[in-house]
Amino acid sequence: MSQVTFRIYRFETGKDASPRYQEYKLALQEGDTLLNCLNTIRDTQDGTLAYRMSCGSAICGSCAMRANGHALLACKTQASSLVKNGVIQLDPLGNFPVIRDLVVDLEPFWASLRKVSPWLQPNLADEPVRERLQTPAQFHLIDDVTTCILCASCWSDCNVLEVDKKFLGPATLAKAHRFIFDTRDAKGQERMERIAEPNGVWDCTHCGECSTRCPTETKPLARIEETREAVMKAGITNSPGARHALGFRESMRWFGALNENYLPIRSMGFFNIPGILGVMPVGIRMMLKRKAPPILPHWIDKVGEVRRIFKRFHELRKNNGGTGAKTDGDD
Amino acid sequence: MLSHDVVIVGSGLAGLRAALEVVGHLDVAVITKVYPSRSHSGAAQGGVAAAMANVDGDSTDAHIYDTVKGADFIGDQDAIEIMCNDAPHVIVDMERLGCPFSRTGENKIAQRAFGGHSFKRSCYSADRTGHALLHTLFEQSMKKGGKLQFYNEYYLMRLIVEENICRGVVAMDMKTGKLEVFHAKSVMFGTGGYGRAYKITSNAYANTGDGISAAYRAGVPLQDMEFVQFHPTGLYQHGLLLSEAARGEGGYILNGNNERFMANYAPSKLELAPRDIVSRSEQTEIIQGRGAGPKKDYVLLDLRHLGKEKILERLPQIYHIAKDFIGVDALEKPVPIQPTAHYSMGGIPADNDCQVVANERGDLVKGFFAAGECSCISVHGANRLGTNSLLEALVFGTRAGKKILEKTTEAKWAPVNESREISAARREIDQILHNKGTESLAAIREELQTTMTDKVGVYRGKDDMEAAHEKIRELQDRFRNVKVDNKKSVFNTNLTEALELGHMLEYSELIVAGAQTRQESRGAHARNDFPDRDDKEWMKHTMAFRTDDGGYELKYRPVRVTRFQPEERKY
């Protein structure tokens, strides 16, 4: 089959000042996975190439790396699907320090995971003699999220982590979801309060990279959205993230459009003077660059139509047993 | 020198379960060459056996009998009784720790059929049961915070045993290459099996049996190494596992003529006969020219009649593996399969409390414990039933932890000569890094694995085994000049792979030797020249001892029979 150039990131911590790319040529065989190719390169061309692997069947997560800029599991990816102009470029997972070649230091990932008390905290008072009961539907709530293999592909491609290392990250938020939605857990409220704080569930920007890269059914973004809904429903709205979401909705309902003066103040909280002062410099810089929105609020022409949509939605939700978010000042 | 009361090597189900028994009472550390969540226990798919009787009239007695019979009567029956009696308790325990289990209509833990089990006994979490159990224990270990210390990506170099007292281990920090002596009052191995000695295998790259041969090198015998389980539904050419749950849920196995050939081999159990029987039947079909495909060298797993909903809900992993790895949509087409090396029945001999046995008389190695696949207790005898391995790891992991707690509390520190141990490990590394460098690591490994699959596989012939034995000796010889490109310290996987190959070459000889000597067919050990079981001569466990000149000596010890005398094994 076709000859492919593998362009692979090389770096050794403590020795190399900066990384470089090394090229290896390999004739792809029918059905070759990316991991097979790496093994062939290592076995026949360069034994010094370092990468992790273990199960070879997409359940351990060791061989997560970036191919052509995006995270994936090398063991379950057909190499032929990655060839672009005869080249496959391989990099270590993003958002991690590199130890050697494609091997990264995963410690930030594990440290994040530990922050959400990732273990079941049941109500020990009513523990039955046998197993606790759970309906198939209740198991279904955590079926997808418990497929997570902690491969850190989501962490690698997360756009928030790229600029904010304190963000809990997609896998950790999925782990939190796993317990919030487990009917056997008794600490849901506490867990939700924890991840509603800054750096938690509200800091996700919905870019969706985590779910696109996730090699399992965990799909962190979907779990983050479910968690946000649960957080609102539980009435945990006293956080900038929740206020931002509510403010967004209020703004849409009242003005028919986003009011960019109202939103930051609403998000910080009207009486949060230090918080508001904190965002002031951004506002001033925007003004100086003539990017600031007009001071006077602007209503769109057919704002009545928008309000009618909100009203209709509210009625529908009422009739469906109120599955929407319960919030203070609910409209 | 690092020092912990208890050092556990291996972070799979057995190791973590034991650690959780000990933590809080003693200073315990877990050493793993991967990360805990990446241990191979997580790859187990179909379920974990326990006579919960959630869906039918199952009983512990039935579980015991099925296991004894599945083991072809060479399992130790007192150990099997313990395992089956404890089974429902460890399942409830895991459920309480948070393991997500699939549920029945009555909201209990769901159970399904599995090969060789006479009731629906397999508790499961879709088809990722091992993953669910492993992650649950990993979660619990995080709960312990700093009290449970992990040494992740440390590679085991040596087990330190002197005067029959275990004193610790030597391990290498893979991130830096630094050698460390771990001084301990008690050491436990939960280091997994040796399936990687085979070319076609369901095992992880990590399953190179390092712990087993580290124990052997330290003077501990190895038991029943010739019994290697071949799983009937390995993905063709890859060997990847397609869970037995596929058959438990009603999947068919077809030959090239689209016949459900199991009717000719196990008329009452069909596809749900034990693994050794199904694997042999497949191999026979292939040998006799009834295989499928252009080379007639595989058979087919047909799930289509189960319907999309059942496949995607109960067997999603199988569906994805077939699709991602060989591009077969199991909803539309049958999946090409072949027997794949899967489970090591043999290993480090241990008593029912996981205390390692030093000789054929049953004396113990003080302070050394083993549980899970690396051990041979022996609950699986000559053939393990599906779903009994996760169970074994949980039951005996727990028992090991309890015994370690008891024994370590009263134990004293036995001295260790740190510099001597480090030098010994350093010498082994230097031998690999600085030799003539004339032999290819990959070639030796490839030849070993191919030899084992072709000549010491599902069926074993006299001439084949002789050739295999000779080949392994040649490879051991060539290994002395193995070429390792990477001489550096930081994450040198080239070096660790060479170390692993050294282990594989060491114990593979014992697999062959045990198989050559055992002149009968029993369970997974099927000889062309001795097709029948010989209870008169061979109701005994093989024990291989390392001799001072690096050779081996085989001795035997009796099987413990309690309730069930050997009988003909029919399904």
Judgement on whether residues A148 and A192 belong to the same structural domain of the protein: yes
Alpha helix positions (H), chain A:
34-44, 107-114, 136-143, 153-157, 159-163, 170-180, 188-196, 209-213, 220-233, 240-255, 262-268, 273-288, 303-319
Non-local CB neighbours of B539 within 8 Å, separated by 6+ positions: B73, B74, B558, B559, B561, B566
Q: Tokens for B161, please give them.
A: 């045993």
User: What backbone phi and psi angles, to 5 degrees, belong to B527?
Assistant: -105, 135
> How far from the centroid of its chain's Cα atoms is residue A56's Cα?
25
Residue A127: which of B42, B96, B139 has the nearest Cβ?
B96
Residue B566, classified by CB atoms within 10 Å of its CB into exposed (0-12), middle (13-18) or buried (19+), is middle
Cβ distance of B205 and A136 shorter than 8 Å: no
Of A84, A66, A63, A58, nearest to A74 (Cα)? A63
Of A240, A231, A166, A172, nearest to A199 (Cα)? A166
Non-local CB neighbours of A324 within 8 Å, separated by 6+ positions: A313, A317
Of B479, B570, B522, B210, nearest to B378 (Cα)? B522
**Dihedral sign, Cα of residue B186, residue B191, residue B194, residue B197:** negative
pLDDT digits (tens, 9 = 90+) for A4-27: 999 999 999 988 999 999 999 999
Amino acid A328: pLDDT: 40
Residue A47: which of B37, B202, B494 has the nearest Cβ?
B494
Judgement on whether residues A32 and A52 belong to the same structural domain of the protein: yes
pLDDT of residue A329 exceeding 50, the answer is: no
Q: How confident is the model at residue A1 (pLDDT cuts 50, 70, 90)?
A: low
Mean pLDDT of A28-39: 92
Judgement on whether residues A201 and A256 belong to the same structural domain of the protein: no
Specify the length of chain A in residues: 331
What global pTM score does this model have?
A: 0.94
Non-local CB neighbours of B536 within 8 Å, separated by 6+ positions: none
- Residue A273 inside a domain? The answer is yes
- Write the CATH number of the domain with boundaries B235-339: 3.90.700.10
Classified as helix, coil or strand, B368 is: strand
Q: Tokens for B449, please give them.
A: 């694995």
* Dist. CA B162–CA B517, nearest whole Å: 30
Strands B252-254 and B299-302: antiparallel
Judgement on whether residues A136 and A216 belong to the same structural domain of the protein: yes
Number of domains observed in the structure of chain A? 3
What ipTM did this prediction achieve?
A: 0.94
Judgement on whether residues A76 and A11 belong to the same structural domain of the protein: yes
Chain B residue closest to A14 (CA)? B490
Question: Percent of chain A at pLDDT above 70?
Answer: 96
pLDDT of residue A280 exceeding 80, the answer is: yes
* Dist. CA B126–CA B269, nearest whole Å: 23
Q: Are B350 and B357 in contact (CB under 8 A)?
A: yes
* The domain boundary residue, chosen from A233, A261, A296: A233
Cβ distance of A54 and B34 shorter than 8 Å: yes
**Sequence-ordered strand ranges (E) for B56-164:** 111-112, 122-123, 148-152, 154-162
Task: Find residues 18-77 of chain A whose CB sits inside 8 Å of chain B.
Answer: 31, 33, 42-44, 46-48, 50-62, 76-77
Residue ranges of chain B with pLDDT lower than 50? none
C-alpha gyration radius of chain B: 22
Kindly report whether the peptide bond that precedes residue A156 is cis, defined as omega within 30 degrees of 0: no
- Residue A330 inside a domain? The answer is no
Q: How many alpha carbons lie under 13 Å from residue B169 in its C-beta half-sphere?
A: 33
- Residue A329 inside a domain? The answer is no
Residue range of the domain that includes A59: 3-104
| Average pLDDT along chain A | 91
Give Dmax over CA atoms of chain B in angstroms: 67
CATH assignment of the domain containing A16? 3.10.20.30
| Shortest Cα distance, chain B CAs vs residue A233, angstroms | 25
Strands B148-152 and B165-173: unpaired
* Dist. CA A273–CA A284, nearest whole Å: 16
Cβ distance of A55 and B324 shorter than 8 Å: no
Of A304, A196, A303, nearest to A243 (Cα)? A196
CB < 8 Å to A48, chain B: 485-486, 488, 494
pLDDT digits (tens, 9 = 90+) for A89-118: 999 999 999 999 999 999 999 999 999 999
Non-local CB neighbours of B474 within 8 Å, separated by 6+ positions: none
Judgement on whether residues A21 and A58 belong to the same structural domain of the protein: yes
Cβ distance of A131 and B95 shorter than 8 Å: yes
- Residue A326 inside a domain? The answer is no
Of A145, A56, A39, A36, nearest to B43 (Cα)? A56
Amino acid B403: pLDDT: 98
- Residue A165 inside a domain? The answer is yes
Amino acid A260: pLDDT: 82
The fold for domain B418-540 equals: Methane Monooxygenase Hydroxylase; Chain G, domain 1 (1.20.58)
pLDDT digits (tens, 9 = 90+) for A284-296: 888 888 888 777 7
The CA dihedral of A174, A178, A181, A187, to the nearest 10 degrees, is -110
Q: Tokens for B20, please give them.
A: 């959780």
Q: Output the CA angle B369-B370-B372, nearest 5 degrees.
A: 155
pLDDT of residue A170 exceeding 60, the answer is: yes
Judgement on whether residues A255 and A211 belong to the same structural domain of the protein: no
- HEC-encoded secondary structure of B282-299: HHHHHHCCCCECCCCCEE
Judgement on whether residues A66 and A113 belong to the same structural domain of the protein: no
Residue A47: which of B100, B106, B484 has the nearest Cβ?
B484
Q: Are B68 and B90 in contact (CB under 8 A)?
A: no
Amino acid A308: pLDDT: 92
Q: Are B390 and B129 in contact (CB under 8 A)?
A: yes
Task: Find residues 201-230 of chain A whose CB sits inside 8 Å of chain B.
Answer: 217
Judgement on whether residues A40 and A29 belong to the same structural domain of the protein: yes
Amino acid B152: pLDDT: 98
* Dist. CA B211–CA A33, nearest whole Å: 29
User: Which DSSP category does A152 fall into?
Assistant: -
A16 touches chain B (CB under 8 A): no
Q: How confident is the model at residue A327 (pLDDT cuts 50, 70, 90)?
A: very low
Strand-pairing partners, residue B158, are B170
Q: Tokens for B28, please give them.
A: 């315990």
CATH assignment of the domain containing A173? 1.10.1060.10
Q: How confident is the model at residue A281 (pLDDT cuts 50, 70, 90)?
A: confident
What is the helix (H) or strand (E) element at residue B25, kind and residue range?
Answer: none
Catalytic residue positions of B? 275
Mean pLDDT of A69-96: 96
Cβ distance of A134 and B107 shorter than 8 Å: yes
Of B306, B231, B242, nearest to B275 (Cα)? B231
pLDDT of residue A270 exceeding 90, the answer is: no
Non-local CB neighbours of B168 within 8 Å, separated by 6+ positions: B7, B160, B181, B182, B183, B184, B187, B416
Place of tokens 């399942």: B91
Q: Where are the domains of chain B?
A: 235-339, 418-540
Q: Are B42 and B134 in contact (CB under 8 A)?
A: yes
* The domain boundary residue, chosen from A80, A104, A128: A104
Judgement on whether residues A92 and A14 belong to the same structural domain of the protein: yes
* Dist. CA B505–CA B478, nearest whole Å: 11
Non-local CB neighbours of A266 within 8 Å, separated by 6+ positions: A243, A244, A246, A247, A250, A251
Amino acid A322: pLDDT: 52
Judgement on whether residues A97 and A37 belong to the same structural domain of the protein: yes
Place of tokens 């029919």: B570
Judgement on whether residues A60 and A126 belong to the same structural domain of the protein: no
Q: Output the CA angle B390-B100-B193, nearest 5 degrees.
A: 20
pLDDT of residue A326 exceeding 50, the answer is: no
Higher pLDDT, A267 or A119: A119
**Dihedral sign, Cα of residue A36, residue A41, residue A43, residue A48:** negative
Alpha helix positions (H), B357-417:
388-410
* The domain boundary residue, chosen from A233, A263, A298: A233
| Shortest Cα distance, chain A CAs vs residue B537, angstroms | 39
